[in-house]
Amino acid sequence: MEKLIGILTGGGDCPGLNPAIRGCVMRAKDHGTNCVGIQDGWRGLVNAETVPLGVADVFDIINKGGTILGTSRTNPFKKDDEAKKCAENFKKLGLDALVAMGGEDTLGVAARLYKEFKLPVVGVPKTMDNDLSATDFTFGYDTAVTIAVDAAERMRDTGRSHRRIMVLEVMGRHAGWVALTTAIASAADWVCVPEEPVDIERMCSHLKKAHTLKKTALVIVSEAITIPGEKIGKEALDDFGHMLLKERGVGDRIAEIIEKETRIETRVSVIGHIQRGGPPTIFDRILGSRMGVTAADMVESKKFGQMAALRGNDCVAVSLEEATAKLKTVPREWLRFAEIFFK
Ligand code: F6P
């Protein structure tokens, strides 16, 4: 009898998910296995909501942003019985395996469903934040940074014309990867990341110098930074207990501080969800495709409780538990590397 894989995408969407879905469906076909789409992340498994997912549904989605399956930040372990429902619906839908594509939260649920309910689950790492341990890169990140670099360079053009300092706030949650690489790749003059408190004095004195030299200066700010002297208020939390960062406005506050300290006119832009839409870059199309194919192969060889990962240039299987144990944040060496270019 032909086997059936259920595929779901959870958490924030990102470019590369559709290539990954496509890779999994197409490779599963080679193994004589069919796939079905589970809609809107874990919510879809709780409610047994599926969509057909054959080769004809995926052959031309490699260049499409978002996820054709929909997504949500539902945590079935938050409400009584929802995790049990996932296990029951797994059976009811006639599934032989589940491929969960997500970040630390979605894959954390996958790890628990494997451990506590013995569900045959395989994970696929995705997140524009690039903060998942056990894999060198996650798809979505390259596209997000590519878009942010384009925005940063446009800001510098207008900033130079008006002799202003420009501040770009980017996403990235509790890891500064997006901000850091955007700053390096756009030749920015400073970067603020959540891994280190902002050194206002050093930043402003450097920006004054940079502005004298270039008639503009560019600062990249990550959304979850701590500004010295500011207390983090009681912000709303999602199902996984993460702060909803959408209303923090750290970019605005950094811009105000810079303007006050340097007395140079300063403007700010927040790129937000623009970073998460649009066609995936070629890197993300290929990485997504490879991860999807690897996941289908892992199902075939029964590597359950594991996640497809990129190590060097190889696709390997790693334990879901290891992958979700702790976030991959930016190490000091990378921050010092970025500073080489702040001249
Ligand atoms: O985790 C991906 C991410 O894009 C973060 O960078 C950001 O903080 C968050 O999702 C935004 O979530 P939402 O789409 O729910 O506003």
Q: How many residues does the chain have?
A: 343
pLDDT in tens, 58-73: 999 999 999 999 999 9
Tell me the C-alpha distance between 184 and 118, whole Å: 44
Active site residue 13: no
Token couple for 207:
């920006």
At 17, the amino acid letter reads L
| Three-state SS at 269 | strand
Tell me the C-alpha distance between 242 and 232, whole Å: 13
**Residue 148 pLDDT grade (very low, low, confident, very high; cuts 50, 70, 90):** very high
Q: Which of 61-65, 98-102, 175-179, 322-326 shows the lowest per-residue confidence on average (mean pLDDT)? A: 322-326
List 13, 40, 105, 129, catalytic entry: 129
Instruction: Output the furthest CA–CA distance in the chain (Å, rounded).
Output: 73
Q: Is the pLDDT of residue 216 over 90?
A: yes
Q: Is the pLDDT of residue 246 over 90?
A: no
Query: Residue 245 has what pLDDT?
Result: 76
Q: What are phi and psi of 281, to 5 degrees?
A: -65, 170
Query: Residue 238 has what pLDDT?
Result: 85
Query: How crowded is residue 10: how many other Cβ atoms within 10 Å of its Cβ?
Result: 30
Query: Residue 180 has what pLDDT?
Result: 98
Of all protein residues, whose CA lies closest to atom 14 belonging to ligand 1? 12
Please give the distance, rounded to the nearest whole angstrom, from the Cα atom of residue 226 to the centre of ligand 1.
Answer: 18
Which residues have C-beta atoms less than 6 Å from ligand 1?
Answer: 12, 103, 127-129, 171-173, 223, 245-246, 276
Query: Residue 210 has what pLDDT?
Result: 98
Domains of the chain, start order: 4-139+280-323 (3.40.50.450), 143-277 (3.40.50.460)
Please give the distance, rounded to the nearest whole angstrom, from the Cα atom of residue 246 to the centre of ligand 1.
Answer: 8
Torsion of CA 279, 284, 290, 294, to 10 degrees: -100
Query: Residue 142 has what pLDDT?
Result: 98
Of all protein residues, whose CA lies closest to atom 16 belonging to ligand 1? 246
Tell me the C-alpha distance between 303 and 144, whole Å: 31
Q: What is the mean pLDDT of residues 89-114?
A: 98
Token couple for 201:
């004095």
Please give the distance, rounded to the nearest whole angstrom, from the Cα atom of residue 93 to the centre of ligand 1.
Answer: 30
Please give the distance, rounded to the nearest whole angstrom, from the Cα atom of residue 212 to the centre of ligand 1.
Answer: 36
Of all protein residues, whose CA lies closest to atom 12 belonging to ligand 1? 12
**Residue 47 pLDDT grade (very low, low, confident, very high; cuts 50, 70, 90):** very high
Mutation test residue for ligand 1: of 13, 40, 145, 171, the one with most atoms within 8 Å of CB = 171
Q: What are phi and psi of 223, to 5 degrees?
A: -65, -20
Token couple for 300:
């075939």
Mutation test residue for ligand 1: of 104, 245, 247, 275, the one with most atoms within 8 Å of CB = 245
Q: DSSP assignment of 63-102, as one string?
A: T--S-TT------TTTSTTHHHHHHHHHHHTT-SEEEEEE
Please give the distance, rounded to the nearest whole angstrom, from the Cα atom of residue 249 to the centre of ligand 1.
Answer: 14
pLDDT in tens, 301-333: 999 999 999 999 999 999 999 999 999 999 999
Query: Residue 141 has what pLDDT?
Result: 98
Q: Is the pLDDT of residue 244 over 80?
A: no
Of all protein residues, whose CA lies closest to atom 11 belonging to ligand 1? 12
Burial class (CB in 10 A: 0-12, 13-18, 19+), 229: exposed
Residue pair 176/145 in contact by the 8 Å Cβ criterion: no
Torsion of CA 25, 30, 31, 34, to 10 degrees: 40
Query: Residue 234 has what pLDDT?
Result: 64
Of all protein residues, whose CA lies closest to atom 4 belonging to ligand 1? 12
Mutation test residue for ligand 1: of 17, 43, 129, the one with most atoms within 8 Å of CB = 129
Q: Is the pLDDT of residue 195 over 80?
A: yes
Q: Is the dihedral of CA 277, 281, 284, 289 positive or negative?
A: positive
Give the distance, in angstroms, between the CA of residue 224 and the centroid of all CA atoms in the same chain. Answer: 14
Task: Match 């469903």 to its residue by tokens.
Answer: 113
Q: What are phi and psi of 260, to 5 degrees?
A: -65, -45
Q: Report the candidate in 81, 107, 37 with the shortest Cα–Cα distance to residue 318.
A: 107
